[in-house]
Structure 1
Amino acid sequence: MTKDELTELVRNAGVVGAGGAGFPTHVKLQATDIDTYVINGAECEPLLYVDQTLMLNWASYLIAASQAISSAIGCKVVFGVKQKHGDCINALQVAGGDVCVLGDYYPAGDEVILLHECVGRIVPEGGLPLHVGAIVNNVETLYNIGRALEGKPVTHSFVQVGGAVSSPGVWSVPLGVEASRLVEAAGGPTIDEPVFVDGGPMMGQYHKDANFPVTKMTKAILVLPSNSAFARYENMPVSVMLRQARVACCQCNECTMVCSRYLIGYDLRPHKIMQAMAYESMRLPEIVQSAMLCSECNLCSGLYACPMHLSPRRVNQVIKGAMRQQGVKPQFEKKAIYPRAERPFRLVPTKRLMSRLGLDTYDVHLPFNGEFVAERVKIPLKQHTGAPSVPVVSLHDEVQEGDLIAKLPDNALGANVHASISGLVEEITSEYIAIRASSL
């Protein structure tokens, strides 16, 4: 198989990053001068278990897919897995995989950190892995590439339901299933007034209800107390958060001392950005634009570092959003980057983070419960970085699981979308396509 053939299969299947921003995978595969393909199995967010489920149950399948990629691109493949997940490491190695063993710290799964640990290269400021000859995908993305090689599109996502539920577990879920249905399948909340997190506790999106759909990017649905620090930080109005940043930051620089991007050598100092928000005279362009280097790992906030209970992460998010809206693309100095000498002593162990967050009681082994059966789905037309997909079906059409229902827009970044169940198209809007199962 050639690289072009691989890319076309992945494009047709609608494969995007299964987690994070959902960047279309076929675009990554088009990069040139790639010598290393890194599979991110760190799963460093507290409580997450999906990638481990895949590595334990589909190791041979993952290795076969990685070998096909290696042959098509002409690169080596390495899996990054934490040492504490010895059963996953063993499964991959028995199947013939090359494993880079990672320490148990957060955020080991940040692709900038992962490449340093596994390949010994540091992505330049404002750059991408391809700038150092590498591609990074997570485990489920690799699984979906394997399916694409068989001509099968992305129709399901592996999703865990965890936290304060009666029966936490992992399911293979049709895209477009409402999260509330999965929470019900997990026995429902065990606490009053919960919040629902799409993703991990540190970087996920917080919702007051579970009326949001499963997408290609969904990895977890966590049920957590609404009065927790997590919910307070994530739901704080932007105006309040910026006002606090101006009046309460004491410039202790604890946020900078644990910043993973600062420690890897980037010129990112969250405390300087907070100072710039407080005093206009300190608002130098190079300081403000450094917010674009933030990975949003959330260690800087009062959840871990800030003694004043502020959130430099949220401030950085506001700055990044404003710069993108204005079309500002900072140009960072091209220079050699080296990890700071204190980095080995400043890494945050996952166990310590879990304890600090009060999540220990939810850290349990999760069973794989097979496929979730859906009666109805509302499949979003935008489950990826780029433009929404364009519907190619009509109201009342009968579709089969795997049929193309919305295509990649012409001359735009995006991804194909396929029916996740067989049934009747009930609704088409600018945001989603709803399908009711034909068996009902």
Structure 2
Amino acid sequence: MDLLQKIYEAGVVGAGGAGFPTHVKLDCKVEYLIINAAECEPLLNTDKYIMMNRGEEIIKTVEEVGEFVEAKHLIIALKEKYTEEINSLKDIIKRLNSNVELFYLGNYYPAGDEQMMVYEVTGRSIPEAGIPLDVGAVVTNVGTIVNIGEAMKDNPVVDKCITVVGEVNNPTMLKVPVGISVKECIDAAGGTDLNEYAVIIGGPMMGTIIDDNETHKNHIKKTDGSLIILPKDHYIVQRKRKPLQTIINETRSACIQCRYCTDLCHRYLIGHKLRPHKVMRNIGMSEQDEEIMKEALICCECGICELYSCPMGLSPRLVNVYVKGELRKKGIRPEKGSTDIESRDMIEYRKIPTTRLMARLDILKYYNQNIDDIKELFPKEVTIPLSQHIGKPASAVVKVGDNVSKGQLIGKVERNDMGANVHATIDGKVLEVSDKVIIQREDNGVIL
């Protein structure tokens, strides 16, 4: 069985982002295979744990994947501050006489952005609305590499490593089955003393925010890697939840056209024609320049303009999200730009230092929290979405009342579909089949 077939059968998707189906992504031949181990956003620690504990498997799998895609360069890109992880990987590379290389990134945001990482490693800018393949590269997360290694042994994706930090009593690393509730993860980290709190699923810049009363009905997916618990009135929570009409009104009344949102935008800096300040002017002045508005389509929504750049506390990111939605209603999609682009001169001087970003976000006090050793959770029930990735949802292949075992296929897509298979993550009985599959087992869940 070839590598892509094994990856497809195991349901591997991008572990650190939108969940692009890996059997589709790796169906290519490239010059560079780049493994993203930079953990782009502040407070995340999952990739570091994976590198320290599964380093040999990572190196061997990178070699295997590199041979498959015929890459000349096998690169693990990680932050230069990860000294312990770097030393561990270097020892393994030397012992295995591997041709995998380490590439060191600065401690800035967004070092782990796919397009920024490709630029750093190769010196090439991906075209507007393009992908790394356009410049001879493919990028995959280090967690995805671990899942590929498991797929090679015929083990499907059923577990996730999750960092739980912020306002919890015992910040910790968890190994959990996909489909466990967010509440159970928070409880395993000692819970919180806050009466009211919000949870960021993902990173503070691009993560999804839910309230405390939603934690029992939100469940860990293949793409999740972190839970950050914050007070409900925290700066990040308040900024991200500002009503759209308020944002538009503020734009019209307060945008001073300083262009900081543009000057610090990393898409602009790698050469893209994305100028958030121009989009803001179109909204603020009720101008109708559709060519300017189309620039919003290539915004990656990293949040720099919203949470770092703007001196007036405006939200160019959310304005771009609004504009993109309006353009898509008209059937307007981003157009791929030319590969003949160059980065702008100031790119090396306009990277956002992570510690300064954390200070601006008021999360420095959570930096370098002592993380408990990993705990493995065995919940009584899991709720597994049939869509955890970009593309087509899986179709259920089980029914209510079926007994299933951990690793059994419960949702299927065809090999040529843009989608991923889904598997049972615990042994038990199927209680519900809809856009999700709920499985319950009879024994009580315990924490080891």
Query: TM-score, with normalisation over the residues of structure 2?
Result: 0.93
Kindly state the Cα deviation for residue 410 of structure 1 after the two structures are TM-superposed.
7.6
3-state DSSP class of the match of 1:342? helix
The 5 Å alignment of 1:311-350 reads: 311-334=315-338, 336-350=340-354
1:97-135 deviation line (CA, Å, top 9, x unaligned): 410001111001111110111122211111001111111
Instruction: Tell me if structure 2 keeps the 8 A contact 1:175–1:379.
Output: yes
Of 8, 13, 31 in structure 2, the residue corresponding to residue 11 of structure 1 is 8
- Within-5 A mapping of 1:2-401: 5-31=2-28, 33-75=29-71, 76-96=73-93, 97-209=100-212, 210-211=215-216, 212-281=218-287, 283-301=288-306, 303-334=307-338, 336-363=340-367, 364-401=369-406
- Alpha-carbon distance in structure 2 between the residues aligned to 1:327 and 1:184: 45
2:96 corresponds to: none
The answer to whether the 8 Å contact 1:247/1:278 transfers is yes
Contact 1:390–1:409 (CA under 8 A) maintained in structure 2: no
Consecutive unaligned residues in structure 2, runs of 5 or more = 94-99
Shift of 1:326: 4.1
- Kindly tell me the number of residue pairs found equivalent between the two proteins: 433
Using the TM superposition, give the Cα deviation of residue 336 of structure 1 relative to its aligned residue in structure 2, in angstroms.
2.1
Q: 327-336 vs 179-188, which deviates more?
A: 327-336
Are the structure 2 counterparts of residues 335 and 136 from structure 1 closer, same or farther at C-alpha, using a change threshold of 3 Å?
closer
**1:132-182 deviation per Cα after TM superposition (whole angstroms, max 9, x unaligned):** 111111111111111011100000111111111000111111011110111
Deviation sequence 1:330-355 (CA, Å, 0-9, x none):
32442522221122221111111112
Bigger mean CA deviation after superposition, 233-242 or 403-412: 403-412
The answer to whether the 8 Å contact 1:261/1:294 transfers is yes
Q: How much has 1:376 moved relative to structure 2?
A: 0.4
Alpha-carbon distance in 1 for matches of 2:402, 2:123: 52
Label 1:340 to 1:93 Cα distance change in 2 as closer, same or farther (>3 A): same
**Which structure 1 residue ranges, 5 or more long, are not aligned?**
none
Contact 2:170 2:372 in 1 (8 A): no
Summarize the Cα distance change of 1:144–1:333 in structure 2 as closer, same or farther, 3 Å threshold: closer
Instruction: Letter of the 2:254 partner, please give it.
Output: A
The 1:368/1:38 distance shift into structure 2, 3 A limit, reads farther
> What's the CA shift string for 1:353-409, capped at 9, x where partnerless?
112212111112423414211110000111000121100011111111000001015
Q: What is the CA deviation profile of residues 207-230 of structure 1, one whole-angstrom value per residue up to 9, with x for unaligned ones?
A: 113231000011111101111221
Partner of 2:97: none
What is the identity percentage for the equivalent residue pairs of Structure 1 and Structure 2? Answer: 40
AA paired with 2:82? H
Q: More deviation in 361-370 or 72-81?
A: 361-370
Return 223-232 or 234-243, whichever deviates more: 234-243
Superposition deviation, residue 247 in structure 1: 2.3
